Amino acid sequence: MAQNLIKSGCDVTVWNRTKSKCDPLINLGANYQSSPKEVAANCDVTFAMVADPESAIDVACGKNGVASGMGPGKGYVDISTVDGATSKLINEHIKATGALFLEAPVSGSKKPAEDAQLIFLKAVAPLLDIMGKSRFYFGEVGNGAAMKLLVNMIRGSMMASFSEGILLSKKVGLDPNGLIEVLSQSAISAPMYSHKGPLMVKSLYPTEAPLKHQQKDIRLALALAESVSQSTPVAAAANELFKVAKSYGLGDADSSAVIEALKAKSFSRLDSA
């Protein structure tokens, strides 16, 4: 995303908690600042895309955070996937500085990001048009976050069901790649199946969207559902699979590694006590 801003001629300044991850962008001409505060102080619009609600609040409102560098005429855009309450809290801190806030979570992973084909779930800034193919506006702060959580709740349930289908096809002697092909031509076709399926069949999970964040998103979506007394048993079941996969140490693998939670694990014989 930052790469596309640089390529479009924007004057880009970067910071990351682990500085070395900034190096490829600095090599492309980005400036570097030593904290979110310094980035915000030196830029008209500051974007953030961090792991979870805790880090989004820390980067925005914490020591040397974005809010400390904000002021009238500046803007802050948080692209992280968080809950609505987090967006609203950050909004209050940013607005108190006289700056503007925009929550703009995205749908789409690494390839759409590289190809500037992301979907922004709420945005007005033309800068986002450099990085994405479409943008939706859902009104007050918190609605964009909620929409993103709904999308990723459905995404997680789809991935869990897809995983069951792949493993069941193998168990009944069918070619799972044949299943993927049938799905691609069916009424339930989804790009995710064709993109992730062939790798899942080979037990390969190169990370585009870490499994730990997919589980975080479902967890936040379940909390949202509970807050309005909406039953979501399918998402709850999918969440349990993602938690199992995390317990297997797959949190940093791609979210498609959830299939590993469904594979029978051979445990060494437990010695009788």
Ligand X SMILES: NC(=O)C1=CN([C@@H]2O[C@H](COP(=O)(O)OP(=O)(O)OC[C@H]3O[C@@H](n4cnc5c(N)ncnc54)[C@H](OP(=O)(O)O)[C@@H]3O)[C@@H](O)[C@H]2O)C=CC1
Which residues 25-54 are close enough to bind ligand X by CB under 6 A? Answer: 49-52
Residue 172 CB, nearest distance to ligand SSN (Å)?
30
Candidate segments 42-50, 72-80, 106-114, 232-240, binder of ligand SSN by CB under 6 A = 106-114
CA distance 2 to 56: 18
Token representation of residue 146? 């909620």
Q: Which residue of the set 148, 196, 212, 246 is catalytic?
A: 148
Least separation, in Å, of the C-beta of 210 and ligand SSN? 9
Burial class (CB in 10 A: 0-12, 13-18, 19+), 248: middle
Q: Which is nearer to ligand SSN, 40 or 131 (CB)?
A: 131
Output the residue with the shortest Cβ distance to ligand SSN: 209
Q: Which of 4, 107, 215, 239 binds ligand SSN (CB under 6 A)?
A: 107
Q: At what angle do helices 233-247 and 143-171 cross, to 10 degrees?
A: 70
Q: What is the CA radius of gyration of the chain?
A: 20
Site string for ligand X, 118-157 (x = CB under 6 A): ----------------------------------------
208 interacts with ligand X by CB under 6 A: yes
Identify residue 238 by its one-letter amino acid code: A
| Tokens 């459905």, residue located | 154
Where does the chain show beta strands of DSSP type E? Answer: 13-14, 31-32, 45-48, 75-78, 100-103, 106-107, 118-120, 132-135
52 three-class SS: coil
Nearest to ligand SSN of 42, 117 (CB atom)? 117
Instruction: Choose the one of ligand X, ligand SSN, none that binds residue 34, judging by a C-beta under 5 to 8 angstroms depending on kind.
Output: none
20 binds ligand X (CB under 6 A): no
Can you read off the two tokens belonging to residue 62?
Answer: 């914490």
Active site residue 148: yes
Tokens describing residue 240: 């349990």
Q: CB 209 → ligand SSN: shortest distance, Å?
A: 4
DSSP bridge pairs for 68 = none
Positions in the binding site for ligand SSN (CB under 6 A): 81, 107-109, 152, 209
Residue ranges binding ligand X (CB under 6 A)? 16-18, 21, 49-52, 55, 58-59, 80-81, 106, 109-110, 208-210, 213, 217
